[in-house]
Structure 1
Amino acid sequence: MHELGVVFHIIDDLKSVVDENKIEKIDKVTVELGEVSTVIPHFLTDCWKWASDKQDFIKGTELLIETIPAITQCEDCGKQYGTIAHGRICPFCQSERTYLVQGNEFMIKEIEVSDDEN
């Protein structure tokens, strides 16, 4: 399960943001996760719950996952289609000369902090 390693990378990135901006607590983190990335959302969520409880600046922080659909482009006919539904072979012209346009991403999209000053 490499999701724990992914969570540690997220935490490292968040720690940098916290340090650079003198933030004490992050309330919510939104990540974008490609449909065909190798990260499994429910494993990521479970790992996040475990790891975030061990860091004061993200303890209880909500992790939201937005899915980016996997889209493939055909080099022969130029059309795009859903990768999950059709795989590598173009459903329009049956070509195997295709490539993934999107859907393999994994990135932090948004970090929310409260406006409360203690």
Structure 2
Amino acid sequence: MHELGIIVHVIRTVEEVGEENHLTEVRSVTCEIGEVSGVVPEYLTDCWQYARRKSELLKDSELKIEILPGVTVCEDCGKTYSTVKYAKQCPYCESYATHLVQGNGFSIKEIEGA
């Protein structure tokens, strides 16, 4: 389960940002997760519930998750389409000359603190 490692990294990053900005508490952390990133949101939430309690700054915080859709572009026809629905083959021209342009990343989007 790599989600625990991700959460440990997120918490360390948020604590550093909190220290730099003199925060006394973090109310929420919003993360963007790509639809095809391999990160399981439910596992991430479970790990957050465990790990946040070990941080004074984050102990009462909420993890918010936004899913970014997987989008693939076809190099032959130039159209984009849903990666999850159609995978590697373009639904417009049936080409396999495609590549993922969005949806495999992970980032901290927002930290709400006081």
* TM surpasses 0.5: yes
TM-score calculated relative to the size of structure 2: 0.97
Counterpart of 2:111?
111
Counterpart of 1:68?
68
Unpaired stretches in structure 2, ≥5 consecutive residues: none
Provide the identity percentage. 50
Unpaired stretches in structure 1, ≥5 consecutive residues: none
Q: CA deviation at 1:22?
A: 1.1
State the AA in 2 paired with 1:56.
Answer: E
CA shift digits 1:7-28 (9 cap, x unpaired): 0110111011011111111001
Q: Distance in 2 between matches of 1:48 and 1:110?
A: 16
Q: Distance in 2 between matches of 1:52 and 1:10?
A: 10
| TM alignment of 1:78-97, pairs within 5 A | 78-97=78-97
Counterpart of 2:30?
30
Q: Distance in 1 between matches of 2:98 and 2:3?
A: 28
Aligned residues between the structures: 114
Q: Distance in 1 between matches of 2:6 and 2:103?
A: 17
Question: Runs of at least 4 residues of structure 1 off by over 4 A?
Answer: none
Q: CA deviation at 1:59?
A: 0.5
CA RMSD between the two structures: 0.7
